[in-house]
Amino acid sequence: MMRRKNDNKRYFTRMGTRKKVHAFVRVKPTDDFAHEMIKYGDDNKSIDIHIKKDLQKGVVNNKQTDWSFKLDGVLHNASQDLVYETVAKDVVAQALDGYNGTIMCYGQTGAGKTYTMTGTTENYKHRGILPRALQQVFRMIEERPTHAITVRVSYLEIYNESLFDLLSTLPCVGPSVTPMTIVENPQGVFIKGLSVHLTSQEEDAFSLLFEGETNRIIASHTMNKNSSRSHCIFTIYVEAHSRTLSDEKYITSKINLVDLAGSERLKKSGSEGRVLKEATYINKSLSFLEQAIIALGDQKRDHIPFRQCKLTHALKDSLGGNCNMVLLTNIYGEASQLEETLSSLRFASRMKLVTTEPAINEKYDAERMVKNLEKELALLKQELAIHDSLANRTLVNYDPMDEIQIAEINSQVRRYLEGTLDEIDIINLRQIQEVFNQFRVVLSQQEQEVELTLRRKYTLIDKNDFAAISAVQKAGLMDVDGHLVGEPDGQGFGLGVTPFSAKPGKKAKSKKMFKEQLRPSTPPPKPVAFEDFKNERGSEINRIFKENKSILNERRKRASETTQRINAIKREMDVTKEALNFQKSLREKQGEYENKGLMIIDEEEFLLILKLKDLKKQYRTEYQDLRDLKAEIQYCQHLVDQCRHRLLMEFDIWYNESFFIPEDIQVSLKPGSSIRPGMVPISRIMSLGEDDQDKFSQLQQTELPEGPDSFSFYNAKVKTEQKHNYLKTMMGFQQAHRK
């Protein structure tokens, strides 16, 4: 289980088994060994302490007389060689496999911590764990030709909570300006400012060790500090890369060899100055060390108090937890030291209960990873090519697209959106992704264009920018509800101030405001705007329209009257005809009179004949009138239709100009300038053919709303149409003149 939050980015490979902190005890050889008090177990893994009753007083202020301590090994009269074999060998060996390891010597001053850790520098045989560990590391490197392993070392001293670099005297280091600090990052903990030295061979490593040891001794004199009052941490950093190129994993590890400050309980009472300060720091740091190690062993604990002191903070990633950890407690064998010996053994047995879960520090070599991925990619491409040829697919290119290919996809997407391309063929995943990508590109371009157009027309105010809104409100451009003055609310027109078309007296002013300052975000409803248009720019067309309509109505009225008259004449004719027929039959019954071949009729019949003749004449005249009227009506109807069409078209243009076309474009469309969308002189309205008008209105509908880009096209088209219409009109006039 991983508990340390900072470890997210590190890679651990678990051994899967929990281990305990290994606790050993080394007894300093003495001629005065307290045989009757200190007894070792047969397996050399336990120590029993027995205090005689009469001795108890004054030695240990306790009623207890017997203690038994279970440990991982008791080193009694053990050689430096055996100590190394027992305590350090495995930890160092595992460091080369990626496990961090920490070996600490704990105990009262003079009990043999430094002897155990460093040994004597004069006698090779008596060298301690430090030089032996370095030797083992280099020996193991020689045994592993498959790996490129680098070794670095550093030597840190912590005295009274201050950090000292014991290798800072080396020429390559140079004087440090800023004090050292402990830094945590995802890779772990390191001491900023502490010199770390690459060592390619054993001898170099030894030189560094001796340099450090010498500095330790010198410092104790020059700085008046007791070396047994400081903690010393010698660190060996190992980094192992596989020599086979395919292996992108590599391992890193640290071996911390810690010579702790003397653990003896320094009496605070009576101590003063430097001694009191040292005592306080040592007592605190050793007790924090114990707390941290115990907390690490407690799986229920989330927070480990590493930062309480420099010692635990610097060792944060090397204490318990994921490391192999060994505690070697150095004790005296003499009766006089029994009190401190008991204290040290208690500490050791507590540490023995702490469990750890060692894990490999695995990291990934990015460069090698890239190389391996490139290789795999090439292989997969070959594989794809084989599949394509087996599936009878023409060679598909799976490489990243170049600019030309991307431009082609962009064009496809645009054509697809316009509707000129029905579908975009799927080629491969990369192409599909690029199609989507280009959709996004086109979309965002269109959004920008729309925004640009809006910004040309309107001053856009951020709805959340209350300062700007209140400024606009103050200027009277916006009502309290945040609506722009004159803004339609769907029902009427405008909310705060009188709508521009509602009050005839204020019309001109409000309209100006409406157009020039307050182009509303939503235009007024068309029926409302239309009324306004008819009174303003469309007034002339509207007048002509109305005139034509009244002429039409008058002609219709006349036609209807004529029809009524014709019907009356027809009825009278029918009556007259009937009366005439009656006279004729009467005459035939009475016998006819003939005179020189001429039929003699009576006066009554004669009058009827005259009347019928007159009626027929009237009928013909009226009928002719009606026919003329009908032709005129038809013509008038046509004019009225054209006028209406024209009116609506002009309105549409006006509506677009007023509410949709950006102002800068309108400048070129203003009266006086040659370009005027749809504004053919009024005199020519009548001559516009239906087809031209249709084209015009279509043109407006299709081209105008498209935005600025369409205007050069639109203007050119309008100019051409106007020229065409003008010529047509002139020809019409000439023809009419000739008639």
Residues that bind ligand ADP (CB under 6 A): 28-29, 107, 109-115, 228, 262, 330
Nearer CB in complex with ligand ADP: 227/252: 227
Which option in Mg ion, ligand ADP, none does residue 320 bind, with CB closer than 5 to 8 A by kind?
none
Which option in Mg ion, ligand ADP, none does residue 107 bind, with CB closer than 5 to 8 A by kind?
ligand ADP
Nearer CB in complex with ligand ADP: 111/129: 111
Q: Which of 641, 725, 731 has its CA nearest to residue 676?
A: 725
Nearer CB in complex with ligand ADP: 228/322: 228
- Backbone dihedral angles phi then psi of residue 613, each to the nearest 5 degrees: -60, -45
What's the CA gap between 698 and 685, in Å, rounded? 17
Residues of the shown chain interacting with Mg ion in the complex, contacts defined by CB under 5 A: 113-114, 228
Residue number with the shortest CB distance to ligand ADP?
A: 112
Q: Per residue in 334-352, is it b (16+ CB within 10 Å) or e — as a string?
A: bbebbbbbbbbbebbbbbb
CB of 117 to Mg ion, least distance (A): 8
Q: Which of 555, 574, 554, 550 has its CA nearest to residue 627?
A: 555
CB of 109 to ligand ADP, least distance (A): 4
CB of 183 to ligand ADP, least distance (A): 29
Which option in ligand ADP, Mg ion, none does residue 537 bind, with CB closer than 5 to 8 A by kind?
none
Which option in ligand ADP, Mg ion, none does residue 111 bind, with CB closer than 5 to 8 A by kind?
ligand ADP
Which option in Mg ion, ligand ADP, none does residue 112 bind, with CB closer than 5 to 8 A by kind?
ligand ADP
Nearer CB in complex with ligand ADP: 113/241: 113
What's the CA gap between 704 and 659, in Å, rounded? 12
- 3-class SS of residue 133: helix
CB of 114 to Mg ion, least distance (A): 3
What HEC string does 499-553 produce?
A: CCCCCHHHHHHHHHHHHHHCCCCCCCCHHHHHHHHHHCCCHHHHHHHHHHHHHHH
CB of 234 to Mg ion, least distance (A): 13
CB of 129 to ligand ADP, least distance (A): 12
Nearer CB in complex with ligand ADP: 114/285: 114
Q: Which of 417, 418, 413 has its CA nearest to residue 438?
A: 413
CB of 120 to ligand ADP, least distance (A): 6
Nearer CB in complex with Mg ion: 211/536: 211
Nearer CB in complex with Mg ion: 99/281: 281
Nearer CB in complex with Mg ion: 94/228: 228
CB of 114 to ligand ADP, least distance (A): 3
Nearer CB in complex with Mg ion: 228/235: 228
CB of 242 to Mg ion, least distance (A): 40
- 3-class SS of residue 443: helix
What's the CA gap between 656 and 653, in Å, rounded? 5
Q: Which of 48, 41, 84, 94 has its CA nearest to residue 68?
A: 48
Nearer CB in complex with Mg ion: 234/514: 234
CB of 181 to ligand ADP, least distance (A): 28
Q: Two tokens at 147?
A: 């790996």
Alpha helices in 39-125 (DSSP H): 53-59, 80-83, 89-95, 113-117
- 3-class SS of residue 358: coil
Angle made by CA atoms 668, 672, 673, in degrees to the nearest 5:
30
CB 317 within 8 A of CB 10: no
Q: Two tokens at 252?
A: 């890193």
- Backbone dihedral angles phi then psi of residue 359, each to the nearest 5 degrees: -145, 150
Residue number with the shortest CB distance to Mg ion?
A: 114
Which option in Mg ion, ligand ADP, none does residue 28 bind, with CB closer than 5 to 8 A by kind?
ligand ADP
What's the CA gap between 637 and 551, in Å, rounded? 9
Nearer CB in complex with ligand ADP: 72/259: 259
Which option in Mg ion, ligand ADP, none does residue 115 bind, with CB closer than 5 to 8 A by kind?
ligand ADP
Q: Hey, what amino acid is at 466?
A: F
Q: Hey, what amino acid is at 519?
A: R
CB of 1 to ligand ADP, least distance (A): 36
Alpha helices in 121-201 (DSSP H): 129-143
Torsion sign over Cα 508, 510, 514, 517: positive
